[in-house]
Amino acid sequence: MATKTFDAVVIGAGPGGYVAAIRLAQLGKKTALVDREELGGVCVNWGCIPSKALIAAANLVDDIRKAGARGILVEPARVDVNKLREFKDAVVQKMVGGVGFLEKGNGVEVIRGTARFVSAQALEVEGAGEKTRLEAPAFIVATGARPIEIPGFPMDGKQVWSAREAVDLPEIPKRLVCIGGGIIGMELGTVYAKLGSDVTFLEALPQVLTGIDPEAVRLVLRSLKERGTKVHVNAKALGYEARGEELLVKAEVEGKPLEIPCDRILVAVGFRPSVEGLGLEPLGVKLTPRGFIEVNPSYRTSAPSIYAIGDIAGPPLLAHKASKEGEIAAEAIAGKKSVRDWVALPSGIFTDPEIAVVGLSEEEARKAGHDPIVGKFSFGALGRAVAIAHGEGFVKVVGDRSTKLLLGATLCGPEASDLVAEAALALEMGAYLEDVALTIHAHPTLPEAFMEACKAALGEAIHALNRAERPRRAGAGAPASA
C-alpha cells in the first residue's frame, strides 16, 4: 500500500470540502482532497446548481405562457425533456470542471476513492482497486448528508424518486406526488408543476415550509393553486402500490384516508448526516442525538486532529454555510484565530414567488428580548416589479423599537434570493433602519423595496401609506406594522 503525507486532508469535495481544500492550500498547507464521486458534491452535481437550472427553465416556460398579457404572442410553449436535461448536465459539467481547475491551480491533490480512518492521524482511501494510506496531522470531514427514506416508500429511482432522480429529469410525469413540503420538495414540485405535471403535495406538519413567515407561504400556496396543484397538510403518507403502470399512494389527511393515483412519487422529507463507514467511533468523535458531529466554534471535533464542516456538522443544511465553515476550519488548522462569528445566515427558497430570509423574525426578535418594530413594502407598489409583471410579494423588515437596529428581513417576491444579500450585509455591519432608509437606491430597481420597508418601519415610507401603530396593551410589546 502506497503512503502519502500531507499537512491536511479533506474528505468530501462538496461546497464545504472543496472550499476548505483551496483555503488550506492558500495558507501554505500541502493538501489532499478525497471524494469517491464527482467534485462539487451534492450541491454541484444534483442539488443547488442543477435544480436552479431546472427552476430557471421552468420559470421561462411559465413566463412564455403568460407573455400574451404583455402583447407578446407566441406558440404554446413545449418542453423537449432531452434538450433540457442536456442543458442542465452541461451546466453541472462546467461547474465540476471549474472546481477541478481551482483545486489544481491551488496545488491541491485530488484523490478518488472511499476514505476510512485507521487512526487519528491516518486514513485509507480505496478506489480503482487500490488502497492508499494518507497521513496528516489534521483532517476535515465534509461528507455531507443523504436523503432520508421513509417506510412504505423505498426509493428505487424509477417509481419512487429522491431529489437526485428528480433533478436528473428522467421524464415529466403526468401526475406526481411529492411527499414533503419543505424547501426541496416545494422547489422541485413547483418545477414539475410548471413543466406540465399534475402535482400533489403531502406534508406531515400543519404548514408547508415550516418556520417561514406564514404570509410568504400563503403567496406560494396561492401560486400553486392557480396551477391546479393540490397541497395537503397534516398528511401522513402510509405507502403505495403499483397497479399496472399506475401508482396509488395511500395517505391519511387530517385523520381521514386518502388515495392518490399518480405516475411517479418524489420523497423529499429531509437529509441525514453521512457518517457511516468513516471509522470515527474508535477515535472518540462525539455525535449529537440526531447523528451530526459535535464541533466547537472552530469546527474541531472531540478528536483534536479532526474537524467537521457542512451538513455533517449540523443544520441548517446550506451550501454557503458549509463553504464558510470550510474557510474557518482551514484557517484554524493553519493557526489563525478563526471561529464561527457571523451575525446572520441568509437562506433562499426558489419557489414561486421566491422567499429569502435573514436574521430574526418578529417572533424571534421578541423571544430574544427585543420590542420589535416591523416595516413592510409590497412589490405591487414598486415600479420595476410591476414593469416586469412580477408585482407579487413583499419585503418585511424587523427592527428594535428603542434603538432602531435592524434585526432581520423576510423577502417574498421576484429575485428575493438575490435581494437578500443587501439585508445580510446590513445585519453583518450592524446597520440601523435609518442607515438603509438614507441610502439612495437606484431607480427603478427591485432593491428599492428593502429601502422602502425600512422607511416604513420608521413611519417614513414614501411610496406606501404610513399606518398608525396599533395601541399597545399595558405591559405588552405589541408589534408595529406598516
Grid cell locating 355: 422567499
Active-site choice (320, 390, 443, 463): 443
Selection from 45, 47, 25 nearest residue 36 by Cα: 45
In terms of DSSP H, where are the helices of 433-476?
433-438, 448-457
Helix count and strand count (H, E) for the chain: 13, 24
Q: Is 463 an active-site residue?
A: no
Using only C-alpha atoms, the chain has a radius of gyration, in whole angstroms, of 24
Helix (H, G, I), strand (E, B) or coil at 475: coil
- Report the alpha-carbon distance of residue 220 to residue 224 in Å, rounded: 6
* Cβ(352)–Cβ(430) below 8 Å: no
How far from the centroid of its chain's Cα atoms is residue 463's Cα?
A: 32
E strand intervals along 128-275: 130-135, 139-141, 145-147, 160-161, 175-179, 198-202, 230-232, 235-243, 246-253, 256-262, 264-267, 271-273
In Å, how far are 237, 371, 399, 407, 408 from 431, measured between CA atoms? 45, 17, 10, 9, 11
φ/ψ (deg, to 5) at 238: -100, -30
Report the DSSP pairing between strands 230-232 and 198-202. parallel
Q: Which residues are catalytic?
A: 443
